[in-house]
Amino acid sequence: MIAPDGEPLDVLIVGAGTTGLAAALFAHDYGAHVRIIDRRPDAPRFSRAFLVQPRTLEVLRPHGVIDELLALGDPSPQVHLHLRRRCVPVRPGELRLPNTAFPNFLLVRQADVEAVLRRALRNRGVEVEWESQFTSYRADKGVVCEVTHHGVRRQIAARFLIGCDGSTSTVRATAGISWDGAAYPREILLADVELDGDVQPGIAHIGLHRQGLLFLLPTGEAAQWRVLTAQPPNRTHAPTDRHHLQHLFDRAHLHAHITGIPWSERVRVQHRIASRYRRGPVFLAGDAAHTFSPAGGQGMNTGIQDAAGLGWKLAFAARLPGRSNATLLRSYAAERRPVAQQVLLLTHLLFWAEAGRGPVPSLLRIAFSSAGAPLVPLLLRRRRLLTYAVQLLAQLRRHYRHSPLTVEDARGSTAVAAPAGERIPDEEVTVNGARQQLHHLIATPAIHMLLQRDTSWEVPLIPNGRLRVHRVRSWPGTGTVIVRPDGYIGFRSGSGTQGATEWLTLVGASPTRS
């Protein structure tokens, strides 16, 4: 397709939040010509998300933004859990998840994440086109989109369109995709507050009471502290009512006096999933495809991982002729929609325990606030159970075993314990006579083909732009593992490279002989 500026456009992205920015970055780095538009006049200042998971850091790593993110956030946050008159220190960083270069969650503002992604795109020559309102599209060997910019109507043509325009997505509505689910009978109150009292700075505080949890985070943007708590959806108390907020602090046993509230808002909470993630050349990602409760910090992370699963596929598909990209395009919804369904169930359960209004969650919170102080250290010592739960929250256990892009050859033995469809775990390996971490080896934007020590391969071990081939000398045997750009194993065989070329051809990364 030809865009009005005369350049061939592969992907048009609507929405410049974290998901849209990540999708633009991923698609660009795999060779797609992209544009990203947003109806807002500029980037929003205030954040609604504050936690980046290890799995999200893994998918961002090949794109050169990790050092900046780590510098802006806290890679080992501490938490004080306030249970009535007891304050229980919790140090999640001491757990250190195995098999990943990022063993802890990163506490960082959503606004900072977006600023880092915008800078990365700007360095690649891609600028967000603000005040550009998407209104409609028509399918025509791709899409032709109607966009209004400063009151002027324009057309933008592209091979593919990604709707990353939030829970009220115009792209989703225009595509005729239903939005299944409902609103919670609660809202999230967010406020930046100035405090005076006995609250240790630089630490996240969680207060527990009968009606729910109150989070006090050292990530405020208009003041030092940010408050998050669930509230009934009524306007009896304005978000900026200091007496109401002080009452919440007192109930949660946070011994601090609120001296100022320079900013606050209420956010509607929903649990919804789009009935489909694709209609022809139109795709949905992030909050346009799913929206959850904030419990567990899953929303922003799930959106970025949507972008990781979609960006490379559209870039590769744009170079495949005719219908040869059908399987590649079909795989996005087959992989990511089941993940969203699992995340929705998890966040629904967590939000019920955190803010449910019925007698059962209320009694559970009362019991834990009374007896939880001595139980927390005991729970923290159950490392195996705790590691499993944290890996689940960190989305390190999500898999694509049933994806049309997953191929497992059961013959022979492979050096990688994880089957095809799972993320490849990190470990120390020997390549080119040097020891290094596997995740460092594959931290470049490409498909990575890992040959065991004795595997026969006729093509020279040189990159072809989309494929990098590595011989892992510390892996004896004749197996082959192909790692997708998003870090999942697409192909695994214990008996040579038979079938590997077919897989590479399927995704448009077939090696060239020289």
Single-letter code of the amino acid located at 498: Q
429 and 326 in one domain?
no
- The answer to whether 152 touches 113, Cβ cutoff 8 Å, is no
For residue 192, is pLDDT > 80?
yes
What digits encode the pLDDT tens for the residues 357-401?
A: 777 777 777 666 666 555 666 566 666 777 888 888 888 999 999
Please tell me what DSSP assigns to residue 295.
Answer: T
3-state DSSP assignment of residue 488: strand
Q: Which residue has the higher pLDDT, 95 or 435?
A: 435
Lowest mean pLDDT among 38-42, 60-64, 359-363, 454-458: 359-363
Is residue 215 within a helix (H) or strand (E), and if so which, with residue range? strand 212-217
287, 173: one domain: yes
Which of these, 233, 193, 237, lies nearest to 215 by C-alpha position?
Answer: 193
- State pLDDT tens for residues 85-142: 788 888 777 778 999 999 999 999 999 999 999 999 999 999 999 999 999 999 988 9
**% of the chain exceeding 70 in pLDDT:** 91
Instruction: Provide the CATH number for the domain around residue 469.
Output: 3.40.30.120
* Closest by CA position to 475, among listed 421, 423, 395, 417: 417
Residue where one domain finishes, among candidates 353, 385, 419? 353
- The residue from 353, 374, 395 where one domain ends is 353
Identify whether 308 is part of a domain.
yes
- Based on the fold, state whether residues 412 and 349 are members of the same structural domain: no
Q: Do residues 219 and 50 make contact, with C-beta atoms less than 8 angstroms apart?
A: yes
Q: Cα(22)–Cα(16) distance, rounded to whole angstroms?
A: 9
Mean pLDDT computed over 224-249: 81
Q: Is residue 194 assigned to a domain?
A: no
Task: Tell me the C-alpha to C-alpha distance, in Å, between residue 112 and each of 118, 123, 219, 245.
Answer: 10, 17, 11, 27
**Is residue 175 in some structural domain?**
yes
Determine the Cα–Cα distance for residues 340 and 432; give it in Å rounded to an integer: 40
d(CA 385, CA 379): 9
Is 329 a member of any domain?
A: yes
In this structure, how many other beta carbons lie within 10 angstroms of the beta carbon of residue 179?
18
Shared domain for 425 and 489, answered yes or no, is yes
At residue 383, the pLDDT reads 65
Count of CA atoms in the C-beta half-sphere (13 A) of 297: 22
**Residue 41 CB-density burial (10 A; 0-12 exposed, 13-18 middle, 19+ buried):** exposed
Is residue 338 domain-shared with residue 443, that is, in the same domain?
no
Angle, helices 326-355 vs 500-507, to 10°: value is 80
172, 320: one domain = yes
Question: What CA–CA distances, in Å, run from 252 to 216, 264, 363, 427?
Answer: 11, 19, 15, 43
Range of the domain at 438: 407-507
pLDDT value of residue 82: 87
Residues in the chain: 514
Contact call for residues 25 and 273 (beta carbons, < 8 A): no
What span, in angstroms and rounded, lies between the C-alpha atoms of 372 and 213? 14
CA dist., res. 38 & res. 133, Å (int):
6
CA–CA dist 335, 283 (Å, integer): 13
Q: Would you say residue 91 lies in a domain? A: no
Cα gap 39→238, rounded to integer Å: 28
81 domain residue, yes or no: no
Comparing C-alpha atoms, which of 140, 246, 139, 160 is closest to residue 195? 246
User: What sign does the CA torsion over 115, 116, 118, 122 have?
Assistant: positive
d(CA 473, CA 478): 11
Give the whole-angstrom CA distance, residue 101 versus residue 57: 9
Mark whether 18 and 158 lie in a shared domain.
yes
Are 335 and 414 found together in one domain? Answer: no
Q: Is the pLDDT of residue 236 over 60?
A: no
Report d(CA 286, CA 351) in Å as an integer: 20
- Does residue 65 share a domain with residue 142? yes
CA distance 25 to 68: 15
Res 46: pLDDT: 92
Comparing 352 with 67, the larger pLDDT belongs to 67
Q: Return the residue matching tokens 């079909």.
A: 330
Residue 355 binned pLDDT confidence (cut-offs 50, 70, 90): confident
Residue 381 tokens, joined: 């010592």
State whether 37 and 109 are in the same domain.
yes
Q: In whole angstroms, how far apart are CA 122 and each of 4, 70, 149, 222? A: 21, 20, 20, 27
Where do we find the tokens 């043509």?
157
Are both 337 and 466 inside the same structural domain?
Answer: no
The residue written with tokens 């900013």 in the block is 263
Domain presence at residue 394: no
Residue 55: CATH number of its domain: 3.50.50.60
Q: Is 269 exposed, middle or buried (0-12, 13-18, 19+ CB in 10 A)?
A: buried
| SS3 of residue 87 by DSSP | strand
pLDDT of residue 377: 61
Between 443 and 410, whose confidence is greater? 443
Q: What angle do CA 185, 191, 193 make, to 5 degrees?
A: 145
144 and 60 in one domain? yes
- The count of structural domains within the chain is 2
pLDDT of 2 over the 50 cut: no
Our separate counts of H helices and E strands in the chain read: 12, 26
In a domain, 452, yes or no: yes
What's at 350, amino acid-wise?
Answer: L
Last residue of some domain: 313, 328, 353? 353
pLDDT at site 62: 97
* CA–CA separation, 479 and 34 (whole Å): 37
Are the CB atoms for 167 and 288 separated by under 8 Å? Answer: yes
Name the range with the highest mean pLDDT among 91-105, 277-291, 343-357.
277-291
